[in-house]
Amino acid sequence: MRLGYLTHVTGDDPSRAYRETIRLAERAEELGYDSFWVAQHHDGHLGGRLPSPLVLLAAVAERTRLIRLGTAVVALPLEDPRRLAEDAGVLDALSGGRLELGIGAGADPDAARRFGRHHDDRHRDTVAALDVLLEMLPPALAAQRVWWATATPSSVDAAAARGVGVLSGRPPSSDDDVVSELARYWTYARGVPRVALSRPLPAGHSTGRIIDDLLADPALPWAGEIVVQAQPSTVRADVHDEVMERAARFVRPFLGVAGPAHGPSVVEEVDTDEPTPAMRPRPVVRPHR
């Protein structure tokens, strides 16, 4: 099980928000996080200040060495997939193959209108753009490090058919059967299934409550990575620091998340043929025919 951290890059001053995000990424690497993710927001939607995540991650790549760098997520229907593939390829080369490219349909109808797109067509447009994107990306990135933030049945099935990972930010509930969608994804995914759960860590909750909530999450057994974020997403940089350190030092051990995957001590101390948690087979649920 891997551990990642997500920030929405908020604040009144964009330049300060970008500098603080770079510092947060450096701190995440120091704390042993496996990945660091940034969210894309156009025109300050939901307080986010980052419309161009690959540009900022290029700066992060120059200040870090090992941590994987993720987008959570790029609104694919608003992008030229060929142009996005070119920019992603440059960043992946610059970072030494550390890019985790998360895409989604987008949730901001105003941004769709300003880009000349129809928001109601976003799911169909995402599938069409994704097929072009996967064809244009460097092969290793396309095959192993593209993620789709979705929980709709049709999109989960499309991700499985294309060998794309699923980034799930919707917690399971009685009226939102995410677990069954993840089970079907694991059953039919082409290649190795990849599921990452994005989960909020409310700044005011105790460490014990956070651990209990995460361990009780029925989607947890289907995931190979948990990407945590401070809530609310507009918290100050010092709150990000506190949440990030608390999760790394106290929450991580209870989730069975091993130390940094890139650390040499992990390789030296573990001598087994058992598959890693991220690769361990999950239960298979097949529909009756």
Say if residue 190's pLDDT is above 90: yes
Instruction: State the pLDDT confidence band at 96, using cuts at 50, 70 and 90.
Output: very high
Tokens 């101390």, residue located: 269
Say if residue 271's pLDDT is above 50: no
Q: Is residue 166 part of a domain?
A: yes
Instruction: State the pLDDT confidence band at 262, using cuts at 50, 70 and 90.
Output: very low
Query: What is the model's pLDDT at position 175?
Result: 61
Q: Is residue 284 part of a domain?
A: no
Q: Is residue 49 part of a domain?
A: yes
- Percentages helix, strand, coil for the chain (3-state, rounded to 5) are 50, 20, 35
The CATH number assigned to the domain holding 223 equals: 3.20.20.30
* Helices and strands per DSSP (H, E), number in the chain: 11, 8
Q: Is residue 146 part of a domain?
A: yes
Tokens 């919707």, residue located: 170
Q: Is residue 194 part of a domain?
A: yes
DSSP symbols for 147-210 = EEE--SHHHHHHHHHHT-EEEE-S--BTTB-HHHHHHHHHHH-SSS--EEEEEEEETTS-HHHH
Residue 187 tokens, joined: 């059953």
Spatial distance between the Cα atoms of 106 and 40, rounded to a whole number of angstroms: 9
Query: What is the model's pLDDT at position 176?
Result: 65
Closest CA to 126 of 144, 147, 151, 106: 106
- 248 or 202: which carries more pLDDT confidence? 248
Spatial distance between the Cα atoms of 206 and 220, rounded to a whole number of angstroms: 20
pLDDT digits over 133-184, tens only?
999 999 999 999 999 998 789 999 999 999 999 999 988 775 668 899 999 9
Region 202-222 average pLDDT: 92
Region 123-131 average pLDDT: 97
- 132 or 277: which carries more pLDDT confidence? 132
Closest CA to 61 of 31, 7, 103, 21: 21
Say if residue 67's pLDDT is above 50: yes
Region of residue 47 (phi > 0: left; psi between -120 and 50: alpha; otherwise: beta): left
Closest CA to 33 of 272, 278, 246, 275: 246
Instruction: State the pLDDT confidence band at 256, using cuts at 50, 70 and 90.
Output: confident
pLDDT digits over 29-66, tens only?
999 999 999 999 998 777 899 999 999 999 999 999 99
pLDDT digits over 10-25, tens only?
999 999 999 999 999 9
Instruction: State the pLDDT confidence band at 281, using cuts at 50, 70 and 90.
Output: very low
Q: Is residue 285 part of a domain?
A: no
The tally of domains found in the chain comes to 1
Query: What is the model's pLDDT at position 171?
Result: 80
Instruction: State the pLDDT confidence band at 285, using cuts at 50, 70 and 90.
Output: very low
Q: Is residue 287 part of a domain?
A: no
Per the structure, the complete domain to which residue 166 belongs is given by 2-279
Closest CA to 126 of 144, 110, 98, 102: 102
Cβ–Cβ < 8 Å for 165, 194: yes
> What's the CA angle centered on 253, arms 252 and 254, to 5 degrees?
90
Say if residue 70's pLDDT is above 70: yes
Residue 264 tokens, joined: 């040499």
Spatial distance between the Cα atoms of 92 and 100, rounded to a whole number of angstroms: 9
Cβ–Cβ < 8 Å for 70, 54: no
Q: Is residue 203 part of a domain?
A: yes
Average pLDDT across the chain, whole number: 88
* DSSP for residue 121: G
Burial of 247 (0-12, 13-18, 19+ CB in 10 A): buried
pLDDT digits over 98-107, tens only?
999 999 999 8
**Lowest mean pLDDT segment, chosen from 101-105, 132-136, 219-223, 267-271:** 267-271
Straight-line distance from the first to the last Cα atom of the chain, in angstroms, rounded to the nearest whole number: 33
Spatial distance between the Cα atoms of 82 and 241, rounded to a whole number of angstroms: 36
Percent of the chain with pLDDT strictly greater than 90: 79
